[in-house]
Amino acid sequence: MILSTTGCISDNPAPEAQPNSPQAIESTASNQSTQANSFRDAVNQAMEAAKLAQTAKTSEEWTKVAASWQQSINLMKAVPEASPNYETAQKKAVEYQTNLEYAHQNIRTTANSSPSPSVVALPPHRVSETPLGNGKRIQVDTNNPQLTHDECSRLAANYSPTAGQGGQIVIQKPNPDAPWNGKLLPFCVDNLDGKGVFFNDFYFQ
């Protein structure tokens, strides 16, 4: 007679892993490794955040710093109570929270700050000075026949402190047309009398 084993259920449960069995030892080692990795990853993330903070200047860069601190805090909080690093991790999570708030403060500060105005270079020129009353007569010669009103005004503003009260600033540029044929002529004059810069446009029509 042939007996079928289909559908038979064993009354003997699967043996549990004993405390000192290879399975139990392997499971314990795996848990300890996971705990250690969580703490180590948190420390590494904190080091990365501190490194980024040393060079961060823009709001985008500070946002990356904040994200790194937040990730480190999350990893520290994830360290289980059974880990030997648990107490240290909880203290570090509180400590890193202060760093996170500092990063957020810098995000707001850099986002609200206006960009520094760009420095506009003065056109090439030569300068000569002669005494004039209580100040100086500053003559500025340029070789650019296309010198604009704006460039002339910036040159005058640059040398007004040197000329002083009672002084004068004369800025010349060449006129390539006849009958001047490249001769330097006064393009703008500032008598420093509060009336601003006067332009001799009739020389350059």
Phi/psi region, residue 118 (left: phi>0; alpha: psi -120 to 50; beta: rest), is beta
Question: Would you say residue 23 has pLDDT above 70?
Answer: no
Mean pLDDT to the nearest integer, 53-57 = 92
pLDDT tens digits for range 130-181: 999 888 999 999 999 999 999 999 999 999 889 888 899 999 999 988 788 8
**Among 26-35, 38-47, 99-108, 119-128, which stretch is predicted with the lowest mean pLDDT?**
26-35
Question: Would you say residue 189 has pLDDT above 80?
Answer: yes
pLDDT at 110: 83
> What SS3 class is residue 45?
helix
Residue 85 sits at the vertex; the CA angle it makes with 84 and 89, to the nearest 5 degrees, is 150
Alpha-carbon distances of 24 from 18, 27, 37, 72, rounded to whole Å: 6, 5, 20, 31
Rounded-to-integer distance, Cα 35 and Cα 205, Å: 83
Rounded-to-integer distance, Cα 184 and Cα 202, Å: 14
**Among 8-12, 35-39, 201-205, which stretch is predicted with the lowest mean pLDDT?**
8-12
Question: Would you say residue 38 has pLDDT above 70?
Answer: yes
Percent of the chain beyond pLDDT 70?
A: 79
Rounded-to-integer distance, Cα 193 and Cα 134, Å: 13
pLDDT tens digits for range 102-141: 999 988 888 776 455 556 788 899 999 999 988 899 999 9
What is the average pLDDT value for the chain, to the nearest integer? 81
Question: Would you say residue 5 has pLDDT above 50?
Answer: no
The answer to whether the beta carbons of residues 172 and 187 sit under 8 Å apart is yes
With 0-12 / 13-18 / 19 or more C-beta atoms within 10 angstroms meaning exposed / middle / buried, residue 156 is buried
pLDDT tens digits for range 79-103: 999 999 999 999 999 999 999 999 9
Helices assigned H by DSSP within 13-83: 22-55, 59-77
- Read off the tokens for 13: 């449960």
Cis ω for the linkage preceding 22 (within 30 of 0): no
